[in-house]
Amino acid sequence: MKILALPMLLGIIATPALAADHAADQLARGAYLGAIMDCAGCHMPRGPDGAPVAGATLSGGTVGFEIPGMGIFWPPNLTPDASGLGDWTDAEIAAAIIGGISRDGHKLAPIMPATSYAALTPEDLQALITWLRSLPATPTERLVPVTDAAKAKAPFYRVTLPQQ
């Protein structure tokens, strides 16, 4: 019995350290993925000069995209604030990232590259979600989509599709 006690004790002591290492690795992996997937390219608010707003990490894009026949869309807040992903489940966030489906079942704007992100492994997808949940919660007023450019409340890019 004494022979088993020491390995069991070491296992109990080592488990929290291993879990902490895994959590740190997962956060680092999620941050890496968020960077190479360029989440900030759309979801980071920008000032009048186009530079990112300091301290407003992924709290919602302030430059929208006009998609012909669909309207103008501004990227939403991805922080864990109530105005962002605060009450979304991991499954709902995953569906948005890899399926382009919002939590209420509607398709996200086609500018969201969900088809590219669908190749994420389950482990990478969870790392990305874990990282998003670790961001500072930043309240933001959501810019709602509009179909008329005259009603736009913020700047936007006009997307022109190739003619066939």
Q: What is the pLDDT along the chain (164 residues), one digit of tens a residue?
A: 555 564 554 455 555 555 556 689 999 999 999 999 999 999 999 988 889 998 889 999 999 999 888 999 999 999 999 999 999 999 999 999 999 999 999 999 888 999 999 999 999 999 999 999 999 999 999 999 999 999 999 999 888 877 76
The answer as to whether 108 is a domain residue is yes
Per-residue pLDDT, 11: 55
Q: Which residue has the tokens 């492994």?
A: 121
Contact 60/84 with Cβ under 8 angstroms? yes
- Count of domains in the chain? 1
Q: Is there a contact between 107 and 164 (Cβ–Cβ < 8 Å)?
A: no
Range of the domain at 14: 2-158
| Inter-residue contact 127 to 29 (CB < 8 Å) | yes
How far apart, in whole angstroms, are the C-alpha atoms of residue 74 and residue 82? 17
Q: Rounded to a whole number, what is the distance in angstroms from the first to the last CA of the chain?
A: 78
Angle at 102 between CA 98 and CA 105, to 5 degrees: 110
Assigned domain for 163 exists? no
Sheet containing 71-73, strands listed edge to edge, beginning at the edge strand earlier in sequence: 71-73, 64-67, 156-158
Residue 83 belongs to a domain: yes
Single pTM value for the model: 0.82
Evaluate whether residue 164 is within a structural domain: no
